[in-house]
Structure 1
Amino acid sequence: MTDRTFDVAVVGAGIIGLAHALAAAKRGKRVVVFDRDAQANGASVRNFGFITVSGQEAGDCWEKARRSCAIWQEIAAAARIPILQRGLIVAARYPESEAVIDAFLASEMGEGCQKLGHEEASKYVPPLTSDVRCALHSPHEIRVESKTAIRQIAAFLTERFGVVFRFGEAVRNVETGRLATARGVTEAETIVVCPGDDTRTLFPDRSLAYGVTRCKLQMMRLEPASPVALKTAVMSDLGLARYRGYADMSEASALKARMDDERRDARANGVHLIVTQSADGSLVVGDSHHYAQTPDPFGNAKVNDLILDEFDRVLSLPNRRVTENWIGTYASADDRWRFTDTPMEGVRLVVVTAGCGASTSFAIGEETIAALYGTQSGA
């Protein structure tokens, strides 16, 4: 083989592309990954680094998240990626929220989770406000630092499996057995296109058929006035009314109605709360959700205030200071959380159309490569 001939070519070096590269490399395939930017710069690095299981939509999404979280832990150990937090506390302030937690715990997805009182929950998250009446504790989640973890996975794939990365090389055409960039043609037996929210450059007609648009979100980093240690990530009532693993249950109807009435602005801006902690003690906080084919690039101070208002209702950290703000975007569709399409023989287009790419990608990568090359014995 030459440096322009591979078994598998992956377009996109975000977490979905890396997941496919890993699954193919584990099978002994010679893999090349292309990305138009100098490094991953999209949703894969503009997030919480929060690998979420509990709260994912029941069925396929939840199952993919469970499998992906297991793979994340394997890769984190092998690639020397620190796991900064384990588990999740969903802080509940309303009786309607407690009913959702009880229903969730009675479902298949509640295995290993438990409901805690304020005192017990505060052992995981000491600054919980007195308004928090109870909490859902899930042990299944992990948290990594996305900005560095994505780079470490790419380095691991190169060191362990010889995966070739071609950063700064935009793919402008794909056909069966070959793809083209400004630097020439690369031949590959199979090609997996993982474009993130750029669904207009390659196979736009295929993405259009799935009704794909884009979601814009606002996030920030906070510096507590004094040191605080959160053992788990934190969510709140707004998450119980939005995350489909909770919100799709019939018991969530009363909570959603109350949130629509009392938290109208937050609900209208797709605000819910996630808080994770970095190694330096700072907190990553968000987020909001606005949808458009081309979202504007501007952050809205009122939306940030809605996020911070929910933060202050759940966590008592006076004089906390915002040190960073940023905007993320991801692909979105009304009627599905992902799709895998076959534009032509030997080519797959893989898009996660919800904000759960980091939580589900490794299992999707396994699925795609298994469909292309067959299930491995013992897998």
Structure 2
Amino acid sequence: MFDLIIVGGGIAGLAFALKGCEAGKKVLIIEKNEGPNEASIRNFGMVLPLGMPKGSALNRAMKSKEVWKHYAKKAKFWANECGMLMVAHHDDEMAAMEEFHTDISLPPYQTRLLNAEQAKVLSPGVNPKGLRGALFSQTDVLINPQQALTQLTQYLYGFENSQLQYNTLVSHFESNDKGVKVVTNKGVFEGRQVVCCPGHQFASLFDLEADQAPTVCKLQMVRTLKQTQNWAFGPMMSTGLSMLHYPAFDQVKSLQAVRNRVEQDHPELIQYGIHLLAAQHQTGEITLGDSHEYGNTPSPFINQRINQLILEYAQKVMTLPSWELKEQWIGIYSKAKTDHVYWEQPQDNLFLITGLGGTGMSTSFAIAEEWFKEHQH
């Protein structure tokens, strides 16, 4: 009998497992693959308070950022407190950034407005042509998700009270007066409590009401080869398009002018939910993206038109020594219809945590901490 069973070895599952192990609980992680292989490693690695609306989402991101920094030292993975540079190449974008900074940002986002010259000094990767200025957020941290999740998993192995069960498929759960039986292809595991973090594959385990269930989102991303001569990109980068995507900017009234212009001049960017993000990990490669297409059965194929749009827009706002691509991929995540997490209790002692959308890296540690405060005594 385990004190806590976690289903899913992505970042949400690891956050719960780490918290449980450190609390002295006997913890089991059940993962269907040989290790994390879904949305948790198919992202930029951005821990991004800047994108979160004030309230629980922002508070969780600020808390999780500190936990990431803590585990970077404990589990020995790379973490860069480089911040986020949001560049403006249009007057309407600069006006929206100025409104956000003046009326919304302080506190707690810790932003600074930069003119074009200051932005160019901060980032060699910004295209100076047509640059109006930028909004710089000092709160954001970049990690390499593939490295970080590998190291966090290895760190878990160091706890005597942890057990990891890979290549194991869960079929269903059976609650009883002692806890929950987790029925799998490798046998039955019993836990006093079970937290299920299945990402976008929640429908294979739970029959949720259609109007309440999270939606599924497909995204596309690309990565360049290592840049030449150890060229450093600078902070993470976003653009005016990102203000249309992140709810932190929902109250910015002047943002409507940006939306109107993009809808008229670049309707495909709106159609495919494209907003440009860029980040350079310690490997020297540049990760670029991304797009957002919603639907419960996303296509497994890469749409090359989307990647073309991402790269064309990137080349307008960025300058790189090399644009040669190393790889491209799709990611799939679930997104809650309200709030930024779907947190339910389908059975006694069984909890479902999913629907984190693009906020999983930014909020999972804080969500796990809240759950323990509420359900562990």
State which of 115, 118, 121 in structure 2 corresponds to 1:117. Answer: 115
Q: Give the superposition deviation at 1:245.
A: 0.6
C-alpha displacement of 1:252:
1.7
Shift of 1:319: 4.7
Percent sequence identity is 29
Name the aligned partner's letter for residue 233 of structure 1.
Answer: M
CA distance in 2, matches of 1:297, 1:88: 31
Is 1:52 the counterpart of 2:51? The answer is no
Assess if the C-alpha contact under 8 Å between 1:224 and 1:321 holds in 2: no
Tell me by how many angstroms 1:286 deviates. 0.5
Q: CA deviation at 1:318?
A: 5.7
Secondary structure of 1:340's aligned partner: strand
Instruction: Look up the SS of the partner of 1:173 in the other structure.
Output: strand
Alignment check: 8 A CA contact 1:54 1:109 kept: no
Evaluate the alpha carbon distance shift between residue 85 and residue 230 of structure 1 in structure 2; reply closer, same or farther with a 3 A threshold: farther
The residue that corresponds to 2:268 in the other structure is 265
Correspondence for 1:6:
2
Q: Aligned letter for 1:20?
A: F
CA distance in 2, matches of 1:308, 1:117: 25
Match of 2:217 among 215, 218, 223: 215
84 and 353 in structure 1: CA distance in 2 versus 1, 3 angstrom threshold: closer
> 2-side partners of 1:319 and 1:151: how far apart?
28
Contact 1:35 1:166 in 2 (8 A): yes
Taking the aligned partners of 2:144 and 2:375, their CA distance within structure 1 comes to 32
Aligned partner of 1:66 among 62, 65, 69: 62
Preserved CA contact (<8 Å) 1:225 1:321 = no
Secondary structure of 2:138's match?
strand
Say which of 170, 195, 199 aligns to 2:198: 195
Letter in 1 for 2:225: E
1:246 to 245, 249, 261: 249
Kindly tell me: are residues 113 and 160 of structure 1, through their superposed partners in 2, closer, same or farther at Cα, counting changes over 3 Å?
Answer: farther
Residue of structure 2 equivalent to 1:310: 313
Partner of 2:172: 173
Inter-partner Cα distance in structure 1 for 2:304 and 2:215: 24
Q: Does 1:158 align with 2:185?
A: no
Over residues 64-112 of structure 1, what are the superposed CA-to-partner deviations in whole Å (9 max), with x where a residue is unaligned?
1111111111011110011145211001112221222122223245542
Residue type of the partner of 2:123? V
Q: Distance in 1 between matches of 2:357 and 2:236?
A: 20
Number of residues of Structure 1 aligned to a counterpart in Structure 2: 369
Q: What is the distance in 1 between the residues matched to 2:332 and 2:89?
A: 30
- Deviation of 1:343 after TM superposition, in Å, equals 0.7
Q: How far is the alpha carbon of 1:216 from its aligned partner?
A: 0.5
Quote the Cα distance in structure 2 between the aligned partners of 1:358 and 1:111. Answer: 18
One-letter identity of the residue aligned with 1:244: P
The answer as to 2:39 corresponding to 1:39 is no
Shift of 1:289: 0.6
Q: Please say which of residues 65-74 and 24-33 is displaced more in the overlay.
A: 24-33
Give ranges in structure 2 of 5+ residues lacking alignment. Answer: none
Q: d(CA) in 2 for partners of 1:285 and 1:70?
A: 25
Give the residue type in structure 2 aligned to 1:172. Answer: S
User: Closer, same or farther in 2 for the Cα pair 1:237/1:161, shift >3 Å?
Assistant: farther
Mapped partners of 2:161, 2:111: distance in 1: 39
Task: Assess if the C-alpha contact under 8 Å between 1:104 and 1:110 holds in 2.
Answer: no
Partner of 2:371: 368
RMSD: 1.7
- Contact 1:6 / 1:188 at 8 angstroms: preserved in 2? yes
Shifted more, 106-115 versus 45-54: the winner is: 106-115
**Partners of 2:184 and 2:55 in 1: CA distance:** 39
Farther-moved stretch of structure 1 (45-54 vs 328-337): 328-337
1:10 to 1:49, Cα distance in 2 relative to 1, 3 A: same
Once residues 26 and 355 of structure 1 are traced to their aligned partners in structure 2, the CA distance between those partners, rounded to angstroms, is 27
* Cα drift, residue 230 of structure 1: 1.9
Query: Corresponding residue for 1:18?
Result: 14
CA shift at 1:334, angstroms? Answer: 3.6
CA distance in 2, matches of 1:114, 1:161: 46
Query: In the alignment, residue 66 of structure 2 is paired with which amino acid?
Result: A
Contact preservation (8 Å) 1:58, 1:109: no
2:148 aligned partner, one-letter code: A
Deviation at 1:363, TM superposition (A): 0.5
Q: Distance in 2 between matches of 1:59 and 1:95?
A: 30
The 3-state SS of whatever aligns with 1:293 is coil
| 1:212-256 superposed Cα distances (whole Å, 9 cap, x missing partner) | 221001100113664420221000111122111124432322222
Residue 186 in 1 paired to residue 182 in 2? no
Q: TM-score of the superposition, structure 2-length normalised?
A: 0.93
In 2, the alpha carbon distance for the partners of 1:241 and 1:262 equals: 15
Partner SS, residue 197 of structure 1: helix
CA displacement 1:107-126 (0-9 Å, x = unmatched): 24554210111221222211
Q: Cα 1:84–1:70, aligned 2, differ >3 Å: closer, same or farther?
A: closer
One-letter amino acid of the structure 1 residue matched with residue 157 of structure 2: T
* Aligned-partner SS, 1:355: helix
